[in-house]
A and B are shown apart, each in its own frame.
Chain A
Amino acid sequence: MKIMVAIKRVVDYAVKIRVKPDKTGVVTQNVKMSMNPFCEIALEEALRIRESGLASEIVAVSMGPTQCIDTLRTGLAMGADRGIHVEFNDALYPLSVANIFKKLVEIEKPSLVILGKQAIDDDCNQTGQMIAGLLNWPQGTFASKVVLDKEKQVVTVDREVDDGTETVCLNLPAVITTDLRLNQPRYATLPNIMKAKSKPIKKFTPEDLNVEIKSDLEIVEVTEPPKRKAGVMLSSVDELIDKLKNEANVI
């Protein structure tokens, strides 16, 4: 069976972002970009499923400007078999991504789609659920454990929910989104990075796929969050208790 994995190129998680002075967004030029950490986990899970003999092919998909190909190459170096790049140079919101993804699913016919639970730039946490909704497939979001039963064509997913863990069983085909604790993604080795250069990446545009990109969202402005006023350093526990009691009035 085939697994499709979605991969997003985002500002590296360790970068301290800066808001543009004109409030139109966040500075992304000359900033280190990487694969979204949750997408790495999604790809790692797909790789492990293939390594256990339950999947035959992994297709990595990324949408956005040309540079997304670098991110796709990283995915190929980790072990994905081939890539699909949907080129689009403007903002893509989850609804559009889900609509494009649906078309790709219709072309590729995977049995499983794995995504990260959220991108660390827009923090939306929507795309996987929306793809599942559009395809009318069951969804296993915030997965911390995935067990695939090829014979029964079901996947059992442990989900991280607010007050603990929940287990659901989904018929294939299904959509899974990954939480942090699903696995520890591997690093691409140099030989694999070299090998990845010859793996195929197919290019589409939204027009090729007959998807009209129209958004019902408009960014009005992006601002910095209010700064906290400078705190004070204390020298003893007694002083701390005194401040909490008499200045902050919280105990």
Chain B
Amino acid sequence: MILGAITKRTVSFSASHFLSRSSSSTRYGSTLVIAEHEGGVIKAPSLSAILAATSLNSSISLLLAGSGSSLHQAASQASSTHPSISQVLVADSDKFKNPLAEPWAKLVHLVHQSGGYSHIIAASSSFGKNVMPRAAALLNVSPITDVTRISDSHTFVRPIYAGNALCTVRYTGSSPCILTIRSTSFPVPKNSVDSKSSEASISEVDLSTFDEDLGNSRFISQTTQDDELPDLGNARTVISGGRALKNAENFKLIENLAKKLGGAVGATRAAVDAGFVANDLQVGQTGKIVAPELYIAFGISGAIQHLAGMRDSKVIVAVNNDADAPIFQVADYGLVGDLFEVIPELLEKLPEKK
């Protein structure tokens, strides 16, 4: 993942490299990570983006935007706990209170103009997917989305055709090289957040030239699913159900098992479309991509589009009454049986999670 040849030469880059726009100098460049934060801390997918940025062997600046005390709390937390970050940029304005693409893309453009970054990275979250291509268009460069591997500073691997092929792509354009990374491919080790000896500098982004007219888009509201289960994207265990659950009531079985295992609940498109669960639980090509330690699929046939979202799970278990279901071809452990018998038995026999 890390380019060995340039590892040792990155320490002594100068300001001229820093500001150079030509792609030849970007090996020594600097990376801007666009991070999301919530409640005074950097969100988990953004931590993966920081981790991905470290493999580019450049200095890392973190851009945080928003307003209020939680923004500054997140900035000071980031500056003191992430050893790879050399600078934290803070854009404090009501314009960034909500995740609207228009002001955010302009902000990325503005910050790049003063920083001359070689790379700009964000996580492939719904926020990153919304903002980064727009920012790339403003900078007239091709973005590379959903990167799963960084081969060298300009060569990346990303899945295509619902993960049924891996495409290695080289960026040959001018700086910046804009990426969104698949966070499950850059897992941040637990306990990696530790305090460091010297804090990274925190500076405010000069917004005096920020002329974005915000009249054209307005944030109205947000509805979030409130539940006590871990976040689907980062859970170590995911219990998923498909159409075979038959109704929302039966889906409680999946939820109960998830609770018992301390995991998150996932679903197929069929289960979401049928109204069993909310759409933010959909796993697949067009839903969430997960790669937990353990993925248990109940009553899921294993369509291409679903496999795209979970095929990188460490251990896959499939329970289905159809022995010919394609899910069994990717499952490490398969059990042919009625999920309405298997789940209660599992609930009964599984050891209690401490």
Chain A residues in contact with chain B, CB under 8 A?
A: 11, 13-14, 16-17, 19, 26, 38, 93-95, 98, 117-118, 120-127, 129-134, 137-139, 141-142, 144, 156, 159-171, 174, 179-181, 215-225, 228-229, 231-238, 240-241, 243-245, 248, 250-251
Does B204 sit within 8 A of A, measured CB to CB?
A: no
The residue on B at minimum CB distance from A93 is B142
The residue on B at minimum CB distance from A162 is B126
5 A-B contact pairs sorted by A residue (CB < 8 Å): A95-B137, A95-B140, A142-B130, A164-B222, A216-B174
Given contacts A171-B216, A225-B159, A251-B350, contact A141 B168 (CB under 8 A): no
Does B68 sit within 8 A of A, measured CB to CB?
A: no
Cβ–Cβ contact A231 & B331, under 8 A: yes
Task: Give min CB distance, A45 to chain B, whole Å.
Answer: 16
Q: Which residues of B contact A232 (CB under 8 A)?
A: 332-334
Give Cα distance in the complex from A123 to B167, angstroms: 11
Q: Which residues of B contact A98 (CB under 8 A)?
A: 137
Task: Give min CB distance, A126 to chain B, whole Å.
Answer: 4
Cβ–Cβ contact B294 & A244, under 8 A: yes
Cβ–Cβ contact A248 & B332, under 8 A: yes
Q: Which residues of B contact A14 (CB under 8 A)?
A: 304
Cβ–Cβ contact A231 & B169, under 8 A: no
How many pairs, one residue from A and one from B, have CB atoms within 8 Å of each other in the complex?
A: 257
Given contacts A13-B304, A141-B129, A225-B165, contact A233 B170 (CB under 8 A): no
Cβ–Cβ contact A144 & B137, under 8 A: no
Q: Which residues of A contact B316 (CB under 8 A)?
A: 228, 231
Within 8 A of A (CB), among B113-143: 125-127, 129-138, 140-143
Of B136, B137, B314, the most chain A CB neighbours within 10 A belong to: B137
Give Cα distance in the complex from A120 to B231, angstroms: 26
Give Cα distance in the complex from A94 to B172, angstroms: 15
Chain B at the A interface: mostly helix, strand, loop or mixed?
mixed
Cβ–Cβ contact A160 & B280, under 8 A: yes
Within 8 A of A (CB), among B211-269: 215-225, 231, 233, 237, 261, 269
- Choose from A16, A125, A171, A225 the contact partner of B145 (Cβ within 8 Å): A125
Give Cα distance in the complex from A166 to B331, angstroms: 35
The residue on A at minimum CB distance from B45 is A162
Of A26, A137, A162, A217, the most chain B CB neighbours within 10 A belong to: A162
Q: Which residues of A contact B77 (CB under 8 A)?
A: none
The residue on A at minimum CB distance from B225 is A164
Cβ–Cβ contact B311 & A225, under 8 A: yes
- Choose from A95, A231, A243, A250 the contact partner of B293 (Cβ within 8 Å): A250
Cβ–Cβ contact A125 & B133, under 8 A: yes
Q: Which residues of B contact A180 (CB under 8 A)?
A: 269, 286
Q: Which residues of B contact A137 (CB under 8 A)?
A: 216
